[in-house]
Each structure stands twice: as structure tokens, then as C-alpha cells.
Structure 1
Amino acid sequence: MSSSGERIKLLTLNCWSVPSTLTLTDKDILTESFTRRGVCVRGLKFVSAHRQERIHAIADFLASSSTLHSRSPSANSLEPFSDIAHQQSSSKTQLASSETRNNLSKPSHDTTSDSSFNSHSSNSLHIVALQELWVYHDFLVIRDRAKEGGFQYSKFFHSAALGSGLAILSRFPIVESHFHPYLLNGHPLHFIQGDFFVGKSVGSCLLDVPNIGHVEVFTTHLYAPHDVPAPEWKRAHRTAQAWELAKLVKASAERGRTVFVCGDLNSVPSSLPITLLQSYGQLRDSWTASHPQGLPTLSTDEASYRTAIQEEGITCDSLINTFTASKSAANRGAKGYGKRLDYILYRPAARRLSRRDRLGRCQTEWVDDQNIICDHCQVVLTDPIPVFGYSYSDHFAVEACFTVHPSQSTKLEADDENEEGRDGKSSGKTVVAPKLTTEQLTHCMSALMVKYRSSERSTHIQLSLFLVCLVLVPGVSVAASFQPLKYLNWIFTLLSVLIGGFGITMLYSGFLAGAWERSAIQEVADQVDQELQILLQPQQHHHQQLSSHLHQQPHLSDNHHSSK
């Protein structure tokens, strides 16, 4: 690695979109763009507006990523989108599909060879992490088109009944891949939310990056329900997932790997899951590393919403997004401009440092073995798809560019590059991750324990309902045979079947799912408590020393008087 460091550029995107209330053409319905005034067809293929067109547009963007400049917010972009969507016609859709692919599918460099790290232009993406790519055929479309843009290596992560929706595309060889389903993944009764059935998880690829070495890229999509105003215990599943993810990051960095975590974390920056990732996992946030904090009070016009994207990294529930434009202000985050839910986090490779304390005991800690500077981070793909007039997804993408310095690089050299910037454009800086505190762990433990007790109450209610059904089924069945009218007999029989099915569901949910959930909560809580005890040991040792010193004072005084 050169002393000036090597650059690496990543992008993360949640590819899906919520059911839209836009008026669709007959062609839209025939081609699986499947909402008509909010009425959706069942199945994962059928719950996203304009799925095929958006997937092809994302694929075209990646195919030409080495030649296109990033689509960043601009005040002079297209007019408000709520009216655009109503102007689509089937002929215009057909024209747009061909036009967009022709305009975006012309990479300017040879992608058939394994190019070196520095051979790509500064606008080239090197690694792409995708989430909510539920349909495998959609991944194949993106993978095949992305190869034209130089992404010769890819991995789709399979999971659970409906798939994880996670994928990674890379210009660099994939040495190995790993997949880790989270212990807590929602409840089977919450089938509308779907977290249990898709099996929320984290996938990672170990890449062999020239001049840097092994880089492990994680892509994940955390538990979705319950936003910040809800009590912390309702988000305990997401907190537990963040804890597991942080442990994976620690293990990877301590093996000497450069780590990047990309994905839809469904958490605002101030939330407990993000706090744990930064303190326990020692991850740095690329956005805060390259942007000043704080956003001035803005008016509720389109320019202000774009400013919020630029200043705070809003990626979801923005008025600028065509799929979330109809959301109320109450659902747009604390300031009403949307939420930052998508992140690119990073951690340098670590090495073990041993030293002795004042008492001669050997102390071991992990320190950074690299200096990673975030040159810039921005929200991209905010403008609508050309000609179509709707957004690429209900989330915007996040793009970040890093400079990785070798361990031999001096801090002074890195600081000089920080201040002067590369080509006068870099605003990045070296960021130190916050330390894990007992307050954070106590907060986490409290949320897990409250969730545990809530699960116990739910199990008690569900098993009680099962017992009620166990009594009702034979009673209704017997009553059916005494009905004078045949149609009443059929009604009672059907009612008996429904009650029986409900009772079995309550048994499964209360006994199996409930016990499963509590076991997972207990396991995560034990891990958190173990880490808490480790943090408390130095404090307890200090208190013991202080107590011993205080107890010795009277004896010293007595000896002094006795000598007199």
C-alpha cells in the first residue's frame, strides 16, 4: 500500500418500495407493478409498485456506474413528483423502458478483466450492498447488467421461507462468504410485518482488495417495526440484532480485516442499536465523519426537504420520494423531513496491544492497525428514474468513499490530508469510536428484560385461549348435531373447525414461538451481562483498593499513638 493511502468506494441501497397509491396503467398491472389505490396482490412479487421497471433502472445505473456521476440532491431537480406519476401512459412506459436502458448501458472501460484498484475513475463504485431484493430473478437481472459495469463478483444470500433479500456486488474477488441469521426475528403472529418469515440476517463477503488486503463487507436489514417514539423494549429485537452484528464486526476486525457494514438498520442515529454498534462494535459512521452536525430550522418546501437530505442524510420517508410522499408529517421523523435509516459504517483492522499496569499486571486491548478517512458520504439516487417519474425505491441510496492508510502512515500525514483534502474536495477526518459504557449496557439489559416479561404475559394469554378453544371445539361439534336446520349444522361445523385452527395457532404461538423468543432474549441478555461484568471489574477493584486503604488508616494512627 502506498503511503498516501488507497481509495475504496461503496454504495448501499434498499431496493424495495412500499405499496403505492399511484394510478397505474393496464400495462402496469399486467407486468406486476401491483397496487391499484393501495390494493395489493398477494406474494412478494406482487407488493411493490413498478418492480420490474425499478429493478432494471437500478441494474442500468450499476452497469454504467463507472461513467455516471452520482445522482445527488439538487434544488433545481425535477418538479414535485406527485403530479408526474399521474401523467404516465402505457406507450410512454414502453418508450421509457427502452430509452433508459440504451442511455445507461454504455460503460466506457473494459470490464472483462480484473482491473487493479486504482484503474477505476474516482466516480467508480467498487462495492455495492443491496437489501430487500426478495425475488431471486431480480438479483439475476441486476447481477448480469452490473457485470457490464465491472462488478464481476456477486453473492446472493438465501434464508428462511421468503429469503433474506441481501446481496453484495464487487469488483474484487470474493474469497469467502458468511451468513448469520439473527436469534430474534419478530413473532410468527405478526405475519403482516414479515420479519419472522424472511428471517432477518446479516451476510458478509471477504474480499481480496489490492493494496489493502482482506476487506469484509457486511450487508444487513434489521428488524423493522416500532419507531423511536415507542418504548425501548418494543425495539428489543432490533437491539439484540445490533448486538449480534457488533460481535461479528469485533471478531472480523480482530482477525486483521478492514470492515464495512452497509444496510438498512431501521434506526435513527441516536437510537440504542446504533449506539451499541458504535461503542461495542467500534464502528464509525461515514456520514457523521464527513458532515457537520446540526440542521437549521427549515420551511416545509421542496428545497428544504432537499437541504435536509444533504445536511442530515435523510434516506427514508422523505417528501421527495414518490413512494413516501403521501406520508403524514408525524411519520417523517422528529423534524418532519424524513429519517436516516441507511448507513455505511466502517472499522479499521485491529491488532492486539499488551502492556503492564502500575501493579505489574498484563493488560491487553485492541487498537486500530489502520487509519481510515471518510473522504465523502452522500445520499444518491434521489431524483426519479428518467422518463418514468417515480423513485428507484422507497429508500434513497448512500454512497461513501474512503481512503485507507497503512498502519505505518503517521497520524500527522493523515491529518494533513484531512485539512487540505484530496483535490480540495475531501471533508473527511479520522474518527475515534466511542467507548462502551455501563449505562448503555444497563439500558440494553433493561429493554431485554421488559421484553422477556412481555413475552411471558403473551404466552400466558395465548395458552389460556388455547384451553378455551379446547373446551369450545367439542361443545360446538356436539351442538352441531342437534340443529334442526341443515344450514345451521354446516355453520356450527365450520365454526368448530375455525375455533380448532385458532386454538392450534395459539398453542404454537404461545408454547413454541414464545419459548423460542424468551430463550433467544435470555441468551443475548447473558452476553450483555457478561460484558457488563467485565466493565465493572476495574471499578470494583478500585473500590476494593480504596476500602482497603481507608481501613488501614486507623491502624496507622493507633500505631503512631502507641509508639508515643
Structure 2
Amino acid sequence: MSVETDINVFTLNCWGIPGVSRNRKIRMNAIAEELALGKYDIVCLQEVWSENDFIHIKKLTHNVLPYSHYFYSGVFGSGVCIFSRYIIENVFFHQWPVNGYIHKLHHGDWFGGKGIGLCRVKCKGISINIYSAHLHAEYNRGNDEYMAHRVLQAFDMSQFISMTSTNADIGILGGDLNTEPGDLSYRIILHNAQLQDSFLQAQQVSADCVGTNESHRNSYTDKKLCLQKPAGNRIDYVMYKSRPGIEVQCLKYQFPLPEQVPHQNFSYSDHEGLQVSLRVVKTSNVSEDAAVNKAEYMNALQESGAVCTAALARLKQDKQSYWLYSVALFLTLLCTIGSETPFSYFKTYNIIRIIVTIMLCYTIFMAGIWNRIEENAVLTGKLGIEVVHSNLADSNSDISYS
């Protein structure tokens, strides 16, 4: 005897940065009105940076999505929240150990305190782990200075999902993962957490539902990017996994939002909203776990280890550079203090001393504290990757000898 349950999942990066994101208030209200229509059972949102926006969405959707949780983190909050038709029984948030740089103010990822939020719910006796996540942005694909951070976040997230989903019937991940299909981070997430990509598994995929960011259908996409890659980039996902005895069928994959907010000339966000319709079948038959391509899995882990090794080497060079800058700035400061200052240049000398002192404090902080924090975080991730890779290699050896 089998029991079927249909679940509609929605995920969206809302691009809700106060003072930066254009048309934020109108768009947030439109997103809330869309969610209030009652078409979705589980909603994963990212970049809801304003608590007032979360409260507004919560108020408008209360009748159809009565349970919700916002994950506070970092300076401005994680931006990650979950809305559910089902009672939320438990929650947990895990912040990424590496998440950009404090001095990269124009990027701002560090201040956001990104991570992965978990809400556990039950639907008709089926235990569901809902994960909403946001990984570090990719600002320059040709010269990606944050690749190591994002790879480590992908490994961290896949470990988190793998270890927290053991007692759940199914796990559902929705979020802006800032990685495209085939990328190293994408492969790590799929293999290490044993997740299924709903786009690849869907029985029905609506036309023109490929790129979730920078696509031609979005009003906020730069026109030059539209000409280069009209379909855009698929970096937002709904992924899922299930335990033996639970079958999950992906019935439909679609973009449910209109191209523009009603009565406006702009889109709901700079990302596309994604809806996935899942059918969960609970049977008495216990099937075997889905086969894992161990060769691809091990290759992805090896590549990740190499990325970490390169990152550690770069950090060592950066530390040496920061200490050299510190010595040079300290000597410069000594020269300005030890020399007699002409009265006419007194103010200028003081300004120079202040600037050099600030720069000296910055280089010492980067060399002695920040560099060490990042080095330890990268090393922790690298050692974890090596443990998983070693276990896979040992299991392959056992199979070959048996």
C-alpha cells in the first residue's frame, strides 16, 4: 500500500537590499501577494535583508503559509527565510566559516552572514527537512577570487544536509547557490549530499525555463549580457533527496511569476522565481539508495582539495605581503615622527601620520588575524574533503579485493 502527497516548492532570491535594490518595496509587496495566493506549500527565500520586509510578507501570507522562520546572522541578517503550510517543529542555522572579505565593502557578502537554514516539518506523517541556502556570489567568472570560498561552502552545505537528514523522510533544498550546472561547487553538492536536481528529473519543464539569473526575460538584466547569453545562468535550484521506502517524483519545473510585476515595467527580482511540483510516495517497499557515480564523486573531491591547496598557498603569500607592507609603513611612520616638522607643513604631516597609522593597523590586522581566520577555515574544509575522499578510496579498494 502506498500513500501519495503532492508538495509545491517555491524559491526566489528577492534582491531585497535596502537603499540599493531598485523598486524594492513594490517588488516585495508583489512577492507577498503572489505567495498569498496559496499556490505553494513550501517557500524558500533569499536576500530578504530587511526584517520589515519579512514581517510584511509574513503578515500577507499568514492565512496560507501560517508558519515561517527568519534566520538571523551576520551584520544585516542572513537574508534567508522559510515559509510553510505545515507546522515547523524545529529550526537550525549554519553560517559559512568562510564568506568573503570584511574589507570588500562593495561586495558585502561577509556582512550578510550567509549560510543554510533548516526547518523540519511534517506533512501527512512524512518528515521533511526544508533547507534554504545562499552561497557566495560569483563576481567575475574569468577571475574568480571567491572560488575557494564557494567550493568550501558547497562542501560544508552538503555535509550539513547529509548529516541532518538521516532522520528525515525527505530533504528539500531551495536556494541561490551561485553555481552553474557542471561547476565544481554544483558537483560537490549533488554527489556529497546525494541530491537530485529537479530540473534534470522533472517530467515536465516549461518552455524558456532555463536561466534563473541574467536572462532576457528579466527587466534588470544588462542588455549586453542578454545579447551574449539570452537564456541567462541557472544558479537557483530546488534539489531533493529521500530515504529508502520513500519515492519522490518531480512532476513539473516552471517559472510561475509573470515577467513583470502587474501594472509595472519591472520584474519581481533580478532572479527568476522557481516552482517545483513534487509527488512523495510512501510505500512499504524499501528500495536501495540511488547509485552514486564514485568516479565523478572522487574527481570532484580531488578538484576541491586542489582548490583548497591553491587557496592556502595564496593565503601564505598574502600574509608575507601584509607583513612586508606593515614593516614599510611602520618605518615610514617612524621617519615622520623622528624628523622635525616644518611649521608650514605641520597639518600635512599630521594627516600623513594618521593615514599611515590607519594603513598600518589594517595590514597588521589582515596579516595577524584575518589571514589566520581564513587559513584555519580553509584548512578545516580541506581536511574534511580529504577524509571523505579517503573513505571513498578505501571502499573502492574493498570492492576490488572482494
TM-score (norm: length of structure 2) = 0.93
Is contact 2:48-2:79 (8 Å) kept?
Answer: yes
1:28-107 aligned at under 5 Å gives the runs: 44-64=17-37, 66=38
Which residue in the other structure is 2:103 paired with? 189
Percent of paired sites with the same residue = 23
Is 2:208 the counterpart of 1:286?
no
Is contact 2:216-2:226 (8 Å) kept?
Answer: no
Deviations 1:379-408 (A, max 9, x none): 232410111211111001110011111132
Is 2:69 the counterpart of 1:155?
yes
Q: What residue identity is the alignment partner of 2:193?
A: G
TM-score (norm: length of structure 1) = 0.67
Please state how far the C-alpha of 1:323 moved relative to its aligned partner: 1.1
Which residue in the other structure is 2:320 paired with? 460
Quote the Cα distance in structure 1 between the aligned partners of 2:157 and 2:100: 17
Is 2:259 the counterpart of 1:386?
no
Quote the Cα distance in structure 1 between the aligned partners of 2:203 and 2:5: 21
Which residue in the other structure is 1:138 paired with? 53
Is contact 2:69-2:83 (8 Å) kept?
Answer: yes
Is contact 1:228-1:271 (8 Å) kept?
Answer: no
Please state how far the C-alpha of 1:437 moved relative to its aligned partner: 2.8
Q: What residue identity is the alignment partner of 1:339?
A: N
Which runs of 5 or more structure 1 residues have no equivalent in the other structure? 18-43, 67-123, 294-305, 350-367, 412-429, 547-564
Q: What residue identity is the alignment partner of 1:196?
A: W
Quote the Cα distance in structure 2 between the aligned partners of 1:497 and 1:244: 41
Quote the Cα distance in structure 2 between the aligned partners of 1:390 and 1:263: 22
Which residue in the other structure is 1:218 paired with? 131
Which residue in the other structure is 2:4 paired with? 5
Change (3 A) 1:256 1:128: closer
Which residue in the other structure is 1:518 paired with? 375
User: Which structure is higher in strand share?
Assistant: 2
Which residue in the other structure is 1:275 paired with? 187
Which runs of 5 or more structure 2 residues have no equivalent in the other structure? none
Quote the Cα distance in structure 1 between the aligned partners of 2:159 and 2:390: 17
Which residue in the other structure is 2:390 paired with? 533
Which residue in the other structure is 1:420 paired with? none
Aligned-partner SS, 1:374: strand
Is contact 2:129-2:168 (8 Å) kept?
Answer: no
Aligned-partner SS, 2:10: strand
Aligned-partner SS, 1:346: strand
Which residue in the other structure is 2:300 paired with? 440
Quote the Cα distance in structure 2 between the aligned partners of 1:52 and 1:381: 17
Q: What residue identity is the alignment partner of 1:458?
A: D
Change (3 A) 1:50 1:329: closer
Is contact 1:318-1:325 (8 Å) kept?
Answer: no
Aligned-partner SS, 1:505: helix
Quote the Cα distance in structure 1 between the aligned partners of 2:204 and 2:313: 41
> RMSD of the alignment, in Å?
2.4
Is contact 1:284-1:433 (8 Å) kept?
Answer: no
Quote the Cα distance in structure 2 between the aligned partners of 1:500 and 1:52: 42
Deviations 1:307-335 (A, max 9, x none): 5x33xx211011221111334358x6xx5
Which residue in the other structure is 1:427 paired with? none
Is contact 1:445-1:529 (8 Å) kept?
Answer: yes
Is contact 1:317-1:327 (8 Å) kept?
Answer: no
Aligned-partner SS, 2:149: helix
Please state how far the C-alpha of 1:475 moved relative to its aligned partner: 2.0
Q: Whose radius of gyration is greater, 1 or 2?
A: 1
1:266-345 aligned at under 5 Å gives the runs: 266-290=178-202, 309-310=208-209, 313-328=210-225, 335-345=229-239
Is contact 2:214-2:226 (8 Å) kept?
Answer: no
Q: What residue identity is the alignment partner of 2:221?
A: T
Quote the Cα distance in structure 2 between the aligned partners of 1:443 and 1:292: 33
Change (3 A) 1:337 1:177: same
Please state how far the C-alpha of 1:336 moved relative to its aligned partner: 4.6
Please state how far the C-alpha of 1:456 moved relative to its aligned partner: 1.2
